[in-house]
Structure 1
Amino acid sequence: MINRERLLDEFLELVGIDSETRYERKICDHLREKLTTLGFAVEEDDTARVTGHEAGNLIATLKGNVPGAPTVYFTCHMDTVAPGKGVRARVEKDAVVTDGNTVLGADDKAGIAALLEGIRTIRDHGVKHGTIQLIITAGEESGLVGSKALDPDKLKADFGFALDSNGPVGDIITSAPAQVRLDVKIEGKPAHAGVNPEDGISAIQVASRAISKMPLGRIDGETTANIGKFQGGSASNVVPQWVEILAEARSRDEEKLDAQVAKMNRGFEQAAAEWGARAEVKVTRMYPAYKYGEADTVVQKAVAAVKRVKREPSLLASGGGSDANVIAGHGIPTVNLGIGYEAIHTTNERMPLEELYKAAELVVALIEESRR
């Protein structure tokens, strides 16, 4: 039922609007106008004052016309990664691509375009539906800051779907990990590296000893850990007093995550104690895990909708987080869905046309399945 030409035009229009993360004002205003025209009651929340971004999240509601039907929500994000200014998109054979100087922004404007076309389609064809809520976030690419600042009291849905995963349409991310960030400072003791090095305590050596002893990389099938940043020291002739480390751990199992973080924390503290240094470890939980099975309503609706659009559903676990994690953490069952974009976050990003069309068909099918 979708209008392919209209959908492609919509997508090209969206990717042509600059919206690098933090600078979402233009795209936010554009989407607000679009959604209002489609009959949604639209609110921009006040999270920009917390996140420091130009715009807040858009929360849009379309009242249903099926009494007693569940309320379903969809979420996409309006921001892109850099370089995303002055995108020049074109259709090349069977996909939309750029001129190679910027990202395309299919992550997540393909999701938004599919969502808008899906809404237009149900209106054009008089499709019955329950109440539909849209959560279009700012700052997803800046660490999910928009969704994390979102007031959960504004979420009114029974369950919902994030349109924000790589992989073909038909992929259903039923499980995704929690993430913990560790900001570490090691304080040693400075000394002249050539005259009296024995009087110093090298923060770099302390940190290196700690890291060499802790489990990192792929811990098990559900858990990973990484040292992402390591910097310190000032000159070759000075025993370094300071080192700063940025690390993370992820797991789809909260107990495993807690155990991994404890090992990393203990590793820094023990190494510091052995060398007479000091370790300061700040642990921040970035977002929660979610996990749903075939018996859960949200999964059943997604599977039925994928089959309606003649794709084979694939239930998958992810190693990455998204706004789905945050909203699911507020108690609203959510799965993330494959949209089909490729090579995201690179200047080789592309959006296959058939996946774009199929994503819009899937939105219609999800709305129809969710009213039951």
Structure 2
Amino acid sequence: MTKYSHQNAVDLFVRMVQVDSPSFSESAMVDFIENEVKTLGWDCKILRQRINMRDLEEDVKERLPADELEKETEQIQIVIEADEAGKDKAPVFFAAHIDTVEPGKGIKPVFTDDGKITSDGTTVLGSDDKSGVAAIMAAVDETLKSGKPHGKIVLVFTALEEKGLLGARFVPIKDLGVKYGFVFDTVGSVGLAVERVQHSYGVTINLQVADIANHANGALKPNALTYACELINELPKGVINEEDYTFSQITSLKTTNEPGYMVPDKAEIKGTIRSFIPEEALTLRKQYEAIIKRFKRENLTVTYKLGSLKTMGYDHSKTEIGNLMLGNAQKIFEEMGIEFKRGRTGLGGHDASVYVKEGVPTLVLSCGMQNIHTTKEWIYVEDLHNCTELIMRLIDKA
């Protein structure tokens, strides 16, 4: 028996996960949200946003496969102005993403005897991140119907989060008139706040051996693959600083052969550099660059792209408003009788990183999702109730 009862969140979640919305196919989910808002009768402004990958920053476009550069999709923001009694409250936003990973079509939610919702085992469930979307909408609807004073509330539902936070890059977050906000998108039962997020750089190195197919005994000579392995051996890898989780790693190695020839003349190395300390991430980036520049071999051309900061990290414990947001969340959890936990993530996988980079303080909170990105994904029904209650209290205390 759950302590808080918000069945509207559970019902909404079950309907939402049955709307197919894999990355780049979010329009049906945007339609669902818009129709739901109109049915509920909210006094609000609905902002549908068409986004085209060609409009991304150059360094971001360089990381995308060619076929994705030609794609478009949609996302949505909803703006609810403060009522008369809530004009002194801080304007706040609540965010989650509407895309899901594959296999995510034809999801069939199943209620289990131990209080969980799962898929039927053939798809993901989509609690990443429709649990956040459902709880936010249910909480706002209950707040509006209660007649309690509320400040300006902005809902931000993004596409393409699973493709590298791409949708968040199109959100005009500074123009939405908010002071701070909350992203509901991390694994774990309700009660977790993400205090720290890593800074990260993407690494791409391309190697090409000239005229390898025309060399006498070319198959016996070093080729792009052997040179790539030599370079990888020279690059720093693994955990450099365990306390601040500074590390670098090679994530893929691909080669290309001249037609009809057995050894590759081209190779592409991809990797990542990450740290909770921005200076340490930058130091590793410089080490990579120095090693790549001095790597010389016969007939070999090396080009590389270390890129600008791929993910903007942050540490809320080191800022005044960050500490205030953490403190307020902790107080609400204590009032709700829920254990409060401060966490950190090395994944960099939150839209909050984009909003923080834009200068808008944003706290990531858990919304109950478990075993995400697998066909064994699940969520406790109780967490949907608790997350909705949490959001209502965040609105009230803004």
**TM-score normalized by structure 1?**
0.92
Residue deviations 1:59-88, cap 9 Å, x none?
211111312211111110011001100001
> Whole-Å Cα distance in 1 between the matches of residues 256 and 79 of structure 2?
53
1:110 paired to 2:131: yes
> 1:71-150 alignment to 2 at 5 Å?
71-93=91-113, 94-150=115-171
Q: After superposition, give the CA deviation of every residue in 1:170-211 in whole Å (9 maximum; x if it has no partner).
A: 110011112211221011234469952499542212211121
Aligned counterpart in structure 1 of residue 20 of structure 2, from 18, 38, 60 = 18
Amino acid at match of 1:64: A
Q: Which residue of structure 1 lines up, in the alignment, with residue 303 of structure 2?
A: 280
1:196 aligns with 2:217: yes
The separation in 1 between residues aligned to 2:176 and 2:314, in whole angstroms, is 17
Q: What CA distance in whole angstroms lies between the structure 1 residues aligned with 2:88 and 2:5?
A: 30
Determine the C-alpha separation between the residues in 2 that align with 1:56 and 1:31: 12
Aligned-pair identity in percent equals 24
TM alignment of 1:1-372, pairs within 5 A: 3-36=5-38, 37-48=41-52, 50=55, 54-65=72-83, 66-93=86-113, 94-191=115-212, 196-197=217-218, 200-220=221-241, 221-234=244-257, 238-271=262-295, 273-275=296-298, 277-284=300-307, 285-293=309-317, 295=320, 296-321=323-348, 322-370=350-398
Read off the aligned partner of 1:224 and give its amino acid letter.
F
Q: Is the 8 A contact 2:209 2:265 kept in 1?
A: yes
Letter of the 2:248 partner, please give it.
A
> Quick check: 148-157 or 175-184, which moved more?
148-157
Question: What SS does structure 2 have at the residue aligned with 1:266?
Answer: helix
Once the two structures are superposed, what CA deviation does each residue of 1:151-170 show, in whole Å capped at 9, x if it has no partner?
A: 34433211111000112211
Q: Cα offset for 1:231? A: 1.0
Q: Distance in 1 between matches of 2:228 and 2:97?
A: 37
Residue 329 (structure 1) shift: 0.8
CA contact (8 A) 1:2 1:117 kept: no
Amino acid at match of 2:168: S
- Confirm or deny: 8 A CA contact 1:163 1:339 kept in the other structure: yes
Return 144-153 or 178-187, whichever deviates more: 144-153
* Secondary structure, counterpart of 1:129 in structure 2: coil
Deviations 1:211-263 (A, max 9, x none): 11222222223323221110114289644321011211122221111111222
Distance in 2 between residues matched to 1:181 and 1:356, nearest whole Å: 35
> Aligned AA for 1:288?
M
The answer on whether the counterparts of 1:189 and 1:203 sit within 8 Å (CA) in structure 2 is no
* Aligned-pair CA distance for 1:113: 0.7
CA RMSD of aligned residues (A): 2.3
Counterpart for residue 61 of structure 2: none
In 2, are the aligned partners of 1:339 and 1:359 still within 8 Å (CA)?
A: yes
Which stretch of the first structure deviates more once superposed, 204-213 or 297-306?
297-306
Amino acid in structure 1 at the alignment position of 2:249 = N
Supply the distance in 2 between the matched residues of 1:276 and 1:234 (Cα, whole angstroms): 16
Q: C-alpha distance in 2, partners of 1:33/1:270?
A: 59
- Secondary structure at the aligned position of 2:196 is classed as strand
Aligned equivalents of 1:196 and 1:278: distance in 2? Answer: 20
Which ranges in structure 2 are unaligned for 5 or more consecutive residues?
Answer: 57-69
Helix, strand or coil: the match of 1:57? strand
Distance 1:223 1:139, change over 3 A: same
Q: What are the Cα deviations for residues 107-144 of structure 1, in whole angstroms up to 9, with x where unaligned?
A: 00000111111112212322222111111101101111
Q: How many residues align?
A: 369
Q: How far apart, in 2, do the equivalents of 1:219 and 1:35 lie?
A: 49
Alpha-carbon deviations, 1:37-62, whole Å to 9, x = none?
33321101232463755533312111
SS of match in other structure, 1:100? coil
